[in-house]
């Protein structure tokens, strides 16, 4: 349970630290694109927890203690796609 809270706290800290919790970035960035920006904000709100869950499950499946050990095990296509998207 302690490890779960540690990982969850780190993930929330990263998201909050990025400024998404304040809503300021949502107003300044996403709404400048009108209705498409609002749709983008909704997609972002949905994708943050889903992608976070997938990364945590990948780390659990690979039994790694650090992200540095998980990258060499990923197929090159997945790694290239994730770097392109983010």
Residues 39-77: tens digit of each pLDDT = 988 898 888 888 888 877 877 887 877 766 666 666 666
Residue 42 Cα distances to 2, 3, 80, angstroms: 31, 30, 25
Q: Which domain holds residue 70?
A: 2-85
> How many domains does the chain contain in total?
1
Q: What is the pLDDT of residue 13?
A: 76
Q: What is the pLDDT of residue 76?
A: 67
Q: Tell which residue, 53, 73, 49, has the closest CA to residue 62.
A: 73
Between 35 and 45, name the one with better pLDDT: 35
Average pLDDT over residues 15-27: 69
Statement: residue 28 has pLDDT above 70: yes
CB 19 within 8 A of CB 25: yes
Q: What is the pLDDT of residue 36?
A: 92
pTM of the model: 0.58
CA distance 3 to 76: 29
């Amino acid at each position: 349970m302690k490890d779960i809270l540690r990982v969850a706290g780190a993930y929330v800290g990263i998201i909050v630290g990025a400024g998404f919790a304040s809503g300021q970035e949502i107003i300044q960035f996403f709404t400048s694109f009108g209705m498409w920006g609002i749709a983008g904000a909704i997609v972002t709100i949905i994708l943050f927890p889903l992608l976070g869950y997938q990364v945590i499950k990948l780390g659990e499946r690979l039994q790694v203690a650090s992200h540095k050990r998980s990258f060499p095990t990923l197929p090159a296509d997945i790694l290239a796609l994730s770097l392109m998207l983010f």
